[in-house]
Every structure is written in C-alpha cells, then in structure tokens.
Chains A and B, each alone.
Chain A
C-alpha cells in the first residue's frame, strides 16, 4: 500500500497558462476527492468522484477548473488560464465506500504558485 500519491509536488506557472495535476488514490478505494488549501486556512472541498462518476462540485470550482477520473482509477485536475488567486495547495484524498464517516486518506498535495 503506497498511499495516495500526487504529482507534481510543486508547480510554478505564469498567469494565463494551463496546469494539470495528477492524483493516484489507494488502489482499492472507490472514492476520490479534491480539496484546496490556502495559507492559514483549512482545506476546502472542490469535487468528489465515486468510481469514474463526478458526483459533486463545489461553488469554488469555476468553469476554468475541470477534473476527471477515467476508468475510476487516477484523477487529474486541470486549471485553465491560471490566475494569481489560484495559488494554493491542491490536496487529493481517497476513501473506501462503506467505511463510514468518510475516513479520508490524503496525499501530500501539489503546491501551485501562479506568478
């Protein structure tokens, strides 16, 4: 069990560029989540997949953001036309349905800096 892995750990980009992050969940977990964490704040929910279906998106997820989870395995989060306000840490988590109480296992995050 290698845990939840995220790639890259750090990403520096210029405003207006597109970026894509990858998350590999724990292999037997069918649920996958994306959160965003800004400095001095707790994580904020962005979106959630059960298998390959994206079941919920928060209001924070503007139309510049898109997430996919093809075949219910890894997931990607893409941000188009990045803005300085997108600078944050993007956390991925996974869980196994039926555990109860959403016991989430988190990755180490991707730190995005938009210059």
Chain B
C-alpha cells in the first residue's frame, strides 16, 4: 500500500526567509504524480505544485520549488521569500499513474507559520 509521511507537524519561518517542508512516500509503482497542497484557514485546498515521477527536472512555481529524489522516495517543498499569506497547512499527496482515479493519498500535513 502507498503511504505518505510528513515528519514535521509544525514549522515556523520569518517573513522573507526560506523554509523547506519534508515529505517521504512509499510505493512500488514506477509511474506516479506527487503534489503539494496548501490549506489556509479558509479551508480550501489549493494546489501549489505538481511533479511527474518520470521527469527528472524538479518542478517550480514562482517562489515554490521541489526537491524530488525518486530513489530516496523524497519530495520536499521549498518556499523562498516567505510571505505572511503562506501561513497554512501544507499537505503532500501521491497518486499512481493509471491507478485508482482520484484516490489521492495525503500525508498528515505540516502547519507552517510565517512570522513578521
């Protein structure tokens, strides 16, 4: 069974600094997608970034980038120039390609606080 582990329940960072959130996963699949979702106090889950496992190049979206290490099954999120609006729960998620549609497997989340 696939699992997603986020080992940091809470983290904090000063505004404008950089923070890295960790995620590891376990799967026997070779083709899959990995995601980071953000859930602010408004509760709406917002897609931050997506990585296709067959792509070696790490995905980037503006201030957000990932470090995808397929052999180590590691998928960390780096937030540069942190902003107060980045304060939220961050969830790492996995889905196998061609597997059960919609069955995203989420980690337990990391609560990020950005301090002024």
The answer to whether B108 touches A40, judged by C-beta atoms less than 8 angstroms apart, is yes
Q: Which residues of A contact B (CB under 8 A)?
A: 31, 33, 35, 40-45, 48, 50, 55-56, 58, 89, 91, 93, 95, 100-109, 111
Cβ of B100 < 8 Å from any Cβ of A? yes
Residues of A within 8 A of B91 (CB): 42-43
Is B44 a contact partner of A55 (Cβ separation < 8 A)?
no
| Contact A106 B101, beta carbon cutoff 8 Å | no
How many A-B pairs have beta carbons closer than 8 Å: the answer is 71
Q: Give chain A's interface secondary structure class.
A: strand
Contact B101 A56 (CB under 8 A): yes
Q: From A89, A102, A105, name the one whose CB has the most chain B CB atoms within 10 angstroms.
A: A102
Interchain CB contact (< 8 A) of A31 among B97, B102, B108? B102
10 extra interchain contacts, Cβ-Cβ under 8 A, other than A31-B102, A89-B43, A109-B43?
Answer: A42-B108, A56-B101, A93-B45, A102-B33, A102-B95, A103-B47, A106-B44, A107-B44, A108-B43, A108-B44
| Contact A104 to B104, CB < 8 A, known contacts A43-B45, A109-B43 | yes
